[in-house]
């Protein structure tokens, strides 16, 4: 990879995908800063600033950035919820329903998106 492309890529940020495993009713799943996908984001950018929740399940869930219920994002059944410009290094996923959630029906996009890159044109794009 050429230095120009590497520098442009670093300016754009990083995005990682996560499929949540099966989540029984009323349980919490914790992702620390030492597990993927957080480790690869934090190694280069020190924090994540972008979170998208795609909830294809029949259960309501919540995501607590940095384990903080004050910053909780609610994702009702069948919803897509997005938050950017909020810094976090770890998070909880909480099943708020009385129904179990099957594996791979809740997906997350987690990343670090630089503020100046949100509206910027991609180099080589059309």
End-to-end CA distance of the chain: 21
CA dist., res. 24 & res. 95, Å (int): 7
Higher-confidence residue of 113 and 9: namely 113
Q: Where are the domains of the chain?
A: 3-115
Which CATH code for domain 3-115?
Answer: 2.60.120.770
The pLDDT value given to residue 104: 93
126 pLDDT higher than 70:
no
Q: State yes or no: pLDDT of 38 exceeds 90.
A: no
Q: Which two tokens stand for residue 126?
A: 């059309």
The pTM score is: 0.80
Query: What does the pLDDT look like over 39-76, one tens digit per residue?
Result: 888 888 888 999 999 999 999 999 999 999 999 999 99
pLDDT at residue 121 above 70?
A: no
């Amino acid at each position: 990879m050429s230095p120009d492309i590497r520098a442009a890529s670093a300016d754009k940020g990083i995005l990682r995908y996560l499929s949540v495993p099966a989540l029984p009713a009323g349980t919490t799943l914790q992702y620390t800063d030492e597990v993927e996908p957080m480790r690869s984001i934090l190694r280069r950018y020190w924090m994540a600033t972008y979170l998208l929740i795609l909830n294809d399940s029949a259960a309501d869930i919540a995501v607590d950035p940095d384990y903080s219920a004050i910053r909780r994002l609610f994702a009702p059944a069948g919803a897509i919820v997005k938050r950017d410009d909020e810094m976090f290094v770890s998070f909880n996923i909480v099943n708020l329903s009385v129904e179990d959630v099957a594996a791979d029906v809740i997906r997350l996009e987690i990343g670090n998106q630089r503020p100046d890159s949100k509206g910027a044109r991609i180099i080589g794009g059309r």
